[in-house]
Amino acid sequence: MSLLSGLPGIVEAAKKEYEETKSGDFRTTSKKGNSLSNLIVQGENLSFMKYLAEKRGLAGGIKLIYVDPPFFSGTNYQARIKTQSPLTGEVPAFKIVAYEDKWAQGMDEYLKMLASRLFMMKDLLSEDGCLWMHLDWHVVHYVKIIMDEIFGEKNFINEIIWHYKSGGTSKNHFSRKHDTLLFYGKGTKTPLDIPKEKSYNRERKPYRFKGVKEYRDELGWYTMVNMKDVWHIDMVGRTSNERTGYATQKPEALLERIIGSCTKEGEICADFFCGAGTAAAAAQKLGRRWIACDGGDMAVSFAEKRLAKAGASFEIMKDALKERKTEGKIDIKIEIINTSFEGKKLIRTEITNYRPDIKNLPLEKEGRKIIKELSEKDSLSLIDYFSMDFDYDGEIHRSDVYYFKDRENECICCEKILKKWGKISIKVTDIFGNVFMKTLDLSAGAGIS
């Protein structure tokens, strides 16, 4: 059967999957600050969306959903990891598989995956909410037909062409330098604040039309018009501060334009294929609330680090039934030191050793060799960041403070004067996104000198 004639069956099967999907058992594992609504979630997005609708009462509660799913490219994508080791000298950057975009049963399987999630996203959107689907030439034509079916043709708003310059070329076709974003409203009334842009006059000369305001810059005369549907925005550059190393990371400027034009401060924006958390980072900058979900540990750890650095408050959630186990081990030394400051005591936490679970890391040959050598000579270079909860409630780690390893060994040790002698918890994340938790009860004074 041709794919075209198979489309109704694909949508039917996707609808069944959506109806039969059960909510995942998502639990908060960690919190930063007090916010209840910003979420970073590690897990399968279909069962997470069901969880949001059924257990968090968010059906009809989300104003904007942006998704940038795998594009059906038939490739595996990697995260580029760079670490430093003063003990081994320059460490070459290496790559680790971040996510796969390969579909054993072809396009049918891919389209069914996307369509079942589209049904779920529609449930979560508010009546005046909207959905942005980010794709490229591989499947956008089929997905538009499916979205017309699920969202209704009349609710289609725009097909945005995002044009960029970077990437490769080929002798066999014109250089592919754009992605396509399909923009739909849940209903027919989607409030939109369209930004203005410059439109240069022909030959860049003044027109002097009555009542039309004209401006001039170094390129010539122009007027300000409502933004058009072709957007020229650069990809995240190699040396940009924004760059996380996560493959297929999108620029914040693109997401700021989308979120800024369709939502107001305080409204909820969600991204269920969040990767390194670009949509959440843009939402955070613009004062929106946000939800970011991804199935990969690596993606979630990149997103957590990025949002923590941006000063955001958030909860981290995981599907309790799908915890990834690692056999890696972390050694942490805790010292309590008397100070001369009002007789107060200082707690010193130091990560002293790390034995990673190398055999279970999705590394290629070269990366495995580098990691093996680092783990023997300087295993602490494999720690990325850690956070401390100095008032641990025995259940949820609430990060009072994060330590990032941006400079040599910065994150290995922390010192803090304690106000209270209760439980503390330490959450350590390695450069592969593996998380280790340690807790300690200081009230009993156990094991502490």
Ligand X SMILES: C[S@@+](CC[C@H](N)C(=O)[O-])C[C@H]1O[C@@H](n2cnc3c(N)ncnc32)[C@H](O)[C@@H]1O
Q: Where along the sequence are the contacts to ligand X (CB under 6 A)?
A: 44-45, 68-70, 99, 246, 248-250, 273-276, 278, 293-296, 299
As a whole number of angstroms, the distance between CA 31 and CA 52 comes to 18
Place of tokens 């529609």: 122
The residue (of 69 and 129) whose beta carbon lies closer to ligand X is 69
Smallest gap, in angstroms, from Cβ of residue 365 to ligand X?
A: 23
Closer residue to ligand X (CB): 274 or 388: 274
d(C-alpha 177, C-alpha 238), whole Å: 17
Beta carbon of residue 281, minimum distance to ligand X (angstroms, whole number): 9
Closest CB to ligand X among residues 132, 184 = 132
| Closest residue to ligand X, based on beta-carbon distance | 275
Query: Cβ distance 157 to 183 under 8 Å?
Result: yes
CB of 175 to ligand X, least distance (A): 20
Please identify, using beta-carbon distances, which residue of 11 and 426 lies nearer to ligand X.
11
Residue 312, CA atoms < 13 Å, CB-side half-sphere: 30
**Minimum CB distance to ligand X smaller for 95 or for 398:** 95
Measured from the CB of residue 52, what is the shortest distance to ligand X in angstroms?
A: 13
Q: By C-beta, is 70 or 362 nearer to ligand X?
A: 70
Say how far residue 170 (Cα) sits from the centre of its chain. 31
**Distance between CA atoms of 273 and 276, rounded to whole angstroms?**
9
Least distance in Å: CB of 302 to ligand X? 8
Question: In the complex with ligand X, which residue's Cβ is closer, 120 or 442?
Answer: 120
Apex 401 CA angle, 344 and 395, nearest 5:
90
Check: CB of residue 248 under 8 Å from CB of residue 275.
Answer: yes
Side-by-side strand order, sheet with 423-430: 401-404, 383-389, 423-430, 435-441
Is the CB of residue 447 less than 8 Å from the CB of residue 441? no
> For 157, which DSSP code?
E
* Residue nearer to ligand X on the CB measure, 11 or 276: 276
Q: Mapping DSSP to helix (H, G, I), strand (E, B) and coil, where does residue 322 land?
A: helix
Q: What are the tokens at 180?
A: 């396509």
Q: Are strands 289-294 and 39-42 parallel, antiparallel or unpaired?
A: parallel
Closest approach, Cβ 270 to ligand X, in A, equals 12
Residue 67 or 414 with smaller CB distance to ligand X: 67
Q: Judged by CB, which is closer to ligand X: 120, or 370?
A: 120
Q: How far is the CB of 416 from ligand X (least distance, A)?
A: 33
Please give the backbone phi and psi of residue 108, each rounded to the nearest 5 degrees, phi first.
-55, -45
Strands 383-389, 401-404: pairing is antiparallel
- Residue 367: Cβ within 10 Å count: 19
Distance in angstroms (rounded) separating the CA atoms of residues 79 and 99: 9
Measured distance CA(42)–CA(39) in Å, rounded: 10
Q: Give the tokens for residue 213.
A: 């305001």
Residue 383's contacts (CB-CB under 8 Å, 6 or more residues apart) are: 330, 351, 354, 405, 411, 412, 428, 429, 430, 431
Q: How far is the CB of 44 from ligand X (least distance, A)?
A: 5
Q: CB of residue 58 vs ligand X: minimum separation in angstroms?
A: 17
Pairing status of strand 196-200 against strand 289-294? unpaired
Kind of pairing, strands 268-271 and 62-67?
parallel
Q: How far is the CB of 421 from ligand X (least distance, A)?
A: 41
Evaluate whether 386 touches 332 at the Cβ level (below 8 Å). no
Closest approach of ligand X to the CB of residue 113, in Å: 7
Which residue's CB is nearer to ligand X, number 244 or number 381?
244
Rounded to whole angstroms, the Cα distance separating 301 from 119 reads 28
